[in-house]
Amino acid sequence: MTKIIGLTGGIGSGKTTVASYFSEFGIPVYIADDEARKLTELPETLAQIRNKIGSEAFNENSLVREKLAAVVFNDPEKLKQLNAIIHPLVKQHFDNWLKNHSNARFVIKETAILFESGSYLDCDVIITVTAPLELRIERVLKRDKTTRENILNRINNQWTDERRISKSDYTIDNTDLTKTKNQAIDLLKKLTIQQN
């Protein structure tokens, strides 16, 4: 039976970096944010978003992610409505993906909102990736065209590290990449031994 490893952490913690290490070790990795982005572009999804969130997130018929983020991260009700559209689609997509990887010993499901979405309930093991706040902000500023204020707004809409860690089996500190990779290797050895 394939074990699902939930991999989570706040924005800028480096979840995707950690996921890429597991991928290097031959473990199938599902990046929920990437898949959610693709599913959001489907015409039927766009119609639901326009209906629930409003046309202020669009330029004519195109969804503008920055505008969508500005709307939902400033309105908890709209964020809830968006999640109610996207989460079931991602869950269904992941379930289909999992069927295609049923021969794998482990798979990684990487998602920022593992707990908030309730998908942690489907995981056998949960890993939280952490990093100091300023380092996270610095990483996101480099990666996205955004402001410090927007990043803090998103962080405040996510669970705290402390809350995530309290519900996780393992934690990986992603401050130094070499040490991070070594933690991932050690953790994989531990999980493999437990499964044998």
In the chain the first and final C-alpha atoms are separated, in Å, by 12
Give the span between the Cα atoms of 138 and 26, in whole angstroms. Answer: 30
Q: Helices (H), strands (E): how many in the chain?
A: 9, 7
Annotated binding residues for ATP, written as ranges, equal 12-17
What's the chain's length in residues? 196
Q: How far apart are CA 34 and CA 62, in angstroms?
A: 18
Query: Do β-strands 106-110 and 3-8 pair in parallel, antiparallel, or remain unpaired?
Result: parallel
Q: Which of 166, 143, 169 is nearest to 154 (CA)?
A: 143
Cα–Cα distance list, 93 to 2, 30, 34 (Å): 17, 10, 12
**Residues comprising the binding site?**
12-17
CB 174 within 8 A of CB 129: yes
